[in-house]
Amino acid sequence: MSKPEEEYTQPIGLDVGTSRIVAARSADKRYRYDSQLNAFLTLPYSKLAADLLHRENVFHEVQGQEILVAGNDAEKFAEVFHVETRRPMLNGVLNPQEPHSLAVVRSIVGRLLGRAAVEKQKVFFSVPAPVEGGETVIPYHQASIAQILSELGYAPTPIAEGLAVVFGELSDANFSGIGISCGSGLCNVCLAVLSVPVISFSVPKAGDFIDAQAALVTGDLAIRLRIQKEQAFRLNGLTGDRVQNALTVYYQEMIANLVNTLRNHISSAQRLPKLEQSIPLVLSGGTVMPKGFLDHFLNALRENELPVELSDVRVSADPLNSTARGALMAALC
How far apart CA 96 and CA 232 sit, in angstroms, is 33
pLDDT the model gives residue 1: 45
Same domain, 90 and 223: no
Same domain, 145 and 281: no
Q: Does some domain include residue 265?
A: yes
Average pLDDT per consecutive 10 residues, the chain (333 residues; last block may be shorter): 58 97 91 96 90 89 90 84 84 94 96 95 97 81 98 98 98 96 96 95 94 88 73 79 90 97 91 85 96 96 93 97 98 92
Helix (H) or strand (E) holding 32: strand 30-37
How far apart CA 164 and CA 30 sit, in angstroms, is 18
Same domain, 104 and 186: no
Q: Does some domain include residue 310?
A: yes
* Residues near 213 by beta carbon (within 8 Å), at least 6 away in sequence: 246, 250
- pLDDT tens-digit map of 17-51: 999 999 999 987 789 999 999 999 998 899 998 89
Domain of residue 109, residue span = 3-45+73-166+322-332
Q: Does some domain include residue 287?
A: yes
* Residues near 333 by beta carbon (within 8 Å), at least 6 away in sequence: 167
Enumerate the β-bridge partners of residue 314: 282
Q: Does some domain include residue 307?
A: yes
Burial class (CB in 10 A: 0-12, 13-18, 19+), 61: middle
pLDDT the model gives residue 2: 44
**Report field, pTM of the whole predicted structure over 0.75:** yes
Q: Does some domain include residue 102?
A: yes
Same domain, 250 and 204: yes
Q: Domain tally for the chain?
A: 2
Closest by alpha carbon to 94, among 40, 141, 142? 141
pLDDT the model gives residue 6: 52
Q: Does some domain include residue 218?
A: yes
Same domain, 38 and 9: yes
pLDDT the model gives residue 240: 72
Same domain, 156 and 204: no
Same domain, 149 and 177: no
Helix (H) or strand (E) holding 52: helix 47-55
- pLDDT tens-digit map of 225-258: 777 777 778 887 777 788 889 899 999 999 999 9
Classify 194 in phi/psi space as left (phi over 0), alpha (psi -120 to 50) or beta: left
pLDDT the model gives residue 133: 67
Q: Does some domain include residue 67?
A: no
Same domain, 180 and 99: no
CATH code (residue 257): 3.30.420.40
Q: Does some domain include residue 240?
A: yes
